[in-house]
Each structure stands twice: as structure tokens, then as C-alpha cells.
Amino acid sequence: FTKHKIFTCNNFYLPEFVAKSLEKFKQFQVRQDDIWIVSFPKSGTTWVQELVYLIENECDFKKATQDSIENRSPFFDYPSPGLKHIENIKTKRIIKTHLPYCFLPDEVEKKAKVIYIVRNPKDVTVSYYHFTNLSTQAQFTGNFYDFTKLFIEGKVPYGPWWSHVNDYLAKKDVHLINYEDLHTRPFEVIKELSKYLGKNLSDDQIKSIIDWCSFDNMKKNPAVNYEWYKELGLYKKNGHFFRKGKIGDWLNHFAVDDSQKIDDIVEKKLQKKLDFNYGICNEDLN
């Protein structure tokens, strides 16, 4: 599936580089002022990373272009930049992770601010499938139907999706962001997020953040669009990290019976009811 073997730990499927570091993750020292951005892969993490950075830095757009998003909010689970590097960050930390809740460092929820992003699982499947084709680190050779089957069985890296989501939904101090809400009512979502982070932004500031973080603007922003991964050989040349950024692209991909299977997962396995805006999709799909 990936160049790194997949292991099962606590019934989660984890890439090798994650599975072998679980003990170190647990022992990582959390700080009171840390902000943790957590998600199942392909749920809109990058979007929220940029929002949080701008809220925290009170719309300092210039500063946001001076360093890449992965330096401004490092990926906890990945070997690069690594835990030592993150430990040594002197300023307030914004940390991204895809770890299931049970593998987070002790005291994260008690000490730090934790933001969890959730997205319609059908769009997650589509986005994840395309991502495995973009990444040179993935070695998945099947087609979309094969990938969906694995997703439904919970056997994609960081899966099962429903266990990942359930474990965070159960935590009362975790701030939940729904990808679809961010599309359909960005102003309110960003206002609530700012409040959670203890920042009081003006309406104009919120509007400027919405504009800065639109899909089109982020796609052409070289500090966030991951086009540099192509030079590093991590992404293939013929695709983009910023792929479509829509609600409802699953309609272009899913077979009816697989769609029903995911509806059943949402209905029966999710412990809370979430509104994924199944009925709404952005115009100009395809």
C-alpha cells in the first residue's frame, strides 16, 4: 500500500513510521499553549492549518508567505522534521497530526487546544484515492473500487475512519470543524474557531481570512500548495495537492452499492449524528 509497511495497533492501520514511534509519541511533552490540529487524512487539514495560523497571527499575511505551511505547523507523525525539532520550537506551536486519539501524547486534551476536522467519508475516500496516485510514497496499484473496498473495511492508513472519528467526537474539549460547514458558512466557523483560540477578530479580518484561504488562492500560494514536493520527488509531476476542494465529488466516482455501504457506516457506526451535506454539492463538478 505504501513504501512503508502497514501495521495494526489497537485495531488501527498505521504506516510503519508511525507504528514504530508510538512510545515516543506518548512521551512527547505537551505545552499548555500548544494547538493541535487533528484529522483523518484528506479531511481538509491544510485548509484549517492556514486558518489557524492566520487567526493566531492576527492576519499577518506577509508572515504567512515567509515560511512554508509544513514549517509553520509541522506534521507530528512524520519522520521529518521529527519530534526533536518540534520539541525545540521556541514559539507557540501549531502541530498537525493524523494520529488516532489513543496514540496522542498523554495530557494533550487536558493541556492543549485540540481541533478536529471531519469530512464526508465519501469525499475523503475520493480525495485519499487521488492522493495515493499523487504521492510517490504510496504503492497502491488498484483502482478506485479497490480503494473504496479497503476504506469500507477500515484498512487504509489511519483507518478505520469511523473509529478515528468516534474517538474524537467523544471528547468534550475537542473543537470540531466540519469541512462542509467551512464551505457553506465559513464566517461562523472561523468566528467560532477564533473564539476557541481566544482571539477576537473583526468581521473584516475574518472576511480577509476567508478570501486568503479560498481554494483558488491557496492553490496558487507557493507557501501552502505543496508544489515543492514535486522538486523533492515526493509527488508526481502530473497532479496537484490542491485537487478540487469541493463538496460532493464522490458523485463522480462512487458506485451505488458502495455509496450505500458508507451511508450504513455513518448511520450505524458513528456515535454522533453529523451533517455531511450529502444533498449539497458544489456547482461545476467534474
> Does position 44 bind ligand A3P by CB under 6 A?
yes
245 forms part of the interface with ligand A3P (CB under 6 A): yes
CA distance 42 to 46: 9
Give me 114's grid cell. 485540540
98 assigned to active site: yes
Tell me the three cell numbers of residue 242. 490542491
242 binds ligand A3P (CB under 6 A): yes
The interface with ligand A3P within residues 65-84 (CB under 6 A) comprises none
Q: How far is the CB of 264 from ligand A3P (least distance, A)?
A: 22
Q: C-beta of 39: minimal distance to ligand A3P in Å? A: 6
The correct pick among 93, 244, 258, 266 for binding ligand A3P (CB under 6 A) is 244
Q: Min. distance of Cβ 48 from ligand A3P in angstroms?
A: 8
- Contact positions with ligand A3P (CB under 6 A) in 203-232: 213, 215, 218
Q: Quick one: which of 127, 132, 178, 194 contacts ligand A3P (CB under 6 A)?
A: 127
Q: Does 42 bind ligand A3P (CB under 6 A)?
A: yes
> Which residue pairs from 124-127 have beta carbons closer than 8 angstroms and sit at least 24 positions apart in sequence?
124/40, 124/41, 124/42, 124/43, 124/151, 124/161, 125/151, 125/250, 125/253, 125/254, 125/262, 126/249, 126/250, 126/252, 126/253, 126/254, 127/42, 127/243, 127/249
C-alpha span between 159 and 121 (Å, rounded): 11
**45 or 97: whose CB is closer to ligand A3P?**
45
Q: What is the radius of gyration, based on Cα positions, of the chain? A: 18
132-164 in b/e burial notation, b at 16+ Cβ within 10 A?
A: bebbeebebeeebeebbebbbebebbbbbbbbb
Helix (H, G, I), strand (E, B), or coil: what is residue 68? Answer: coil
Q: Which residues contact 236 (CB under 8 A, 6 or more apart)?
A: 133, 134, 135, 136, 230
**Of the candidate residues 39, 132, 194, 225, the single one contacting ligand A3P (CB under 6 A):** 39
Distance CA 118, CA 78 (A): 21
Out of 249, 262, 265, 281, name the contact with ligand A3P by CB under 6 A: 249
Options 45-53, 108-116, 187-195, 203-211: segment touching ligand A3P (CB under 6 A): 45-53
Q: Which is nearer to ligand A3P, 73 or 127 (CB)?
A: 127
| 164 is an interface residue for ligand A3P by CB under 6 A | no
Q: Which of 4, 85, 98, 183 is catalytic?
A: 98
**36 scored as a contact of ligand A3P (CB under 6 A):** no
Number of residues this chain uses to bind ligand A3P (CB under 6 A): 19
Q: Toward ligand A3P, which CB reaches closer, 44 or 157?
A: 44
* Contact indicator for 282, 183 with CB cutoff of 8 Å: yes
- Interface positions with ligand A3P (CB under 6 A): 39, 41-47, 123, 127, 130, 213, 215, 218, 242-245, 249
Catalytic residues: 98
